């Protein structure tokens, strides 16, 4: 059995603040990979749940995304810090039964396979529910468990395209359609998945029974489209939330459509009106350029109650924002190589509870014996037999690149 002290925070503790975690004592069986599922279970872990990630022998595909420290990639680390890991080969005889036994003692199961995969492995919701009536299961998929497109492969760019967001962005800016440099559809589904789980937990406390949550990325993305009501009524949504202007000392965005910005500045700064939008934009650009410093421009905007933001270079934004340290946006975890690495900290700052990443990043199968002993009361000899049978697997920490 591996020593868990090399997996926890550098100081060996699970809680820095000493307060209770909201989900302390909740067991989560994590059958997810890539992003929508792992991000959801990272949130649950940060809120105090004991999250056990079940990973296949070939590994989560994000283990190869980004640079590596101690053979652990930056992308995988970001979304899987704080979880323990069991590596199970579902193709091996008896493997599905082991997963069923883990689900029997879990409070929550999260999976984001394509619909039908759980059934083919003997892990259908009806089977899990019959064995554990209090179980809550979240299934995240691109187009849902039921519907004409349920079998389609779906990653975030697919949903960005299918929900019209890419085309709307291109249409507004007269630009070619390109995907966003972040996985909006994945993280949107993750957050709504956690909301669904927490609602089901509250209901289970009242009823004593769990339930299955069928969450499609399609539903979540449309639900989060704050201008969808306008679109359905034939209206034109705003052309973005504001324009970017070059000023002394950098660039800034003013969070107001130009048709609202112009009359405010024209009146309060007594700007001459050339009578057309292109001319007005040039007048505003010249006005902004007339200030001798970035602070002078923003002081003027503050005086007129116009919200603004510094357009920070994307590689530097996390490093030079004064609120990052003040708000504890980042935290250090053990990098498994004698140092530390930074990951984002949980954003929830409770008045009387704790929320934080509670450990480092696990190798595949690192906690095989530990989890089977804690969750199923299996002996080291029984775990060793499962390994001999090919059910349990373990990553070579130095040589296995997945």
Q: Determine contact, residues 38/29, Cβ cutoff 8 Å.
A: no
Residue with tokens 């064995």: 131
Cα–Cα distance measured from residue 116 to residue 327, given in angstroms and rounded to the nearest whole number? 42
Q: Which long-range contacts (CB under 8 A, 24 or more apart) does 70-77 make?
A: 70/335, 70/336, 70/337, 70/397, 71/363, 71/397, 71/398, 71/400, 71/401, 72/335, 72/336, 72/361, 72/363, 74/341, 76/361, 77/333, 77/341, 77/343, 77/361
Q: Is 273 a catalytic residue?
A: no
Separation CA 150–CA 147 (nearest Å): 5
Q: Which residues contact 66 (CB under 8 A, 6 or more apart)?
A: 73, 74, 75, 76
State how far the Cα of 219 lies from the Cα of 142, in Å rounded to an integer. 9
Closest by alpha carbon to 46, among 9, 83, 86?
83
The catalytic position among 30, 50, 107, 186 is 186
What amino acid positions are annotated as catalytic residues? 186
């Amino acid at each position: 059995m591996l020593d868990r002290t090399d997996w926890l925070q550098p100081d060996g503790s699970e809680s820095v603040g000493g307060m209770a975690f909201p989900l302390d004592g909740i067991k989560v069986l994590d059958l997810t990979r890539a992003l929508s599922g792992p991000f959801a279970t990272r949130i649950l872990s940060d809120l105090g749940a004991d999250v056990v990630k079940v990973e296949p022998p070939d590994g989560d595909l994000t283990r190869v995304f980004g640079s590596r420290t101690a053979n652990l990639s930056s992308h995988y680390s970001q979304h899987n810090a704080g979880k323990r890991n069991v590596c199970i080969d579902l193709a091996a005889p008896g493997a599905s039964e082991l997963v069923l036994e883990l689900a029997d003692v879990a409070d929550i199961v999260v999976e984001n396979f394509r619909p039908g995969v759980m059934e083919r492995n003997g892990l259908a919701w009806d089977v899990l529910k019959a064995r554990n009536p209090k179980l809550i299961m979240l299934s995240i998929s691109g187009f849902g468990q039921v519907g004409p497109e349920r079998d389609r492969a779906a990653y975030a760019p697919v949903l960005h395209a299918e929900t019209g967001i890419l085309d709307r962005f291109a249409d507004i800016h007269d630009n070619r359609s390109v995907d966003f440099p972040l996985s909006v559809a994945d993280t949107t589904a993750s957050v709504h998945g956690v909301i669904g789980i927490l609602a089901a937990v509250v209901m289970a406390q009242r009823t004593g029974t769990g339930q299955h949550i069928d969450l499609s990325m399609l539903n979540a993305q449309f639900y989060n489209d704050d201008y969808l009501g306008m679109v359905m009524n034939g209206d034109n949504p705003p052309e973005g939330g504001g324009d970017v202007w070059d000023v002394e000392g950098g660039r800034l965005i003013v969070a107001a459509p130009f048709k609202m910005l112009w009359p405010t500045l024209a009146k309060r700064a007594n700007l001459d009106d050339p009578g057309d939008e292109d001319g007005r934009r040039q007048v505003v650009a010249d006005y902004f350029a007339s200030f001798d410093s970035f602070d002078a421009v923003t002081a003027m905007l503050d005086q007129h109650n116009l919200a603004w933001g510094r357009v920070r270079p994307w590689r530097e934004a996390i490093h030079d924002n004064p609120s990052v340290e003040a708000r504890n946006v980042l935290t250090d975890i053990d990098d498994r190589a004698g140092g530390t690495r930074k990951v984002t900290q949980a954003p929830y700052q409770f008045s009387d509870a704790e929320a934080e990443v509670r450990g480092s990043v696990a190798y595949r199968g690192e906690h095989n014996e530990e989890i089977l002993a804690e969750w199923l009361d299996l002996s080291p000899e029984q775990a060793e037999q499962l390994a001999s049978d090919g059910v349990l697997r373990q990553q070579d920490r130095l040589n296995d690149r997945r």
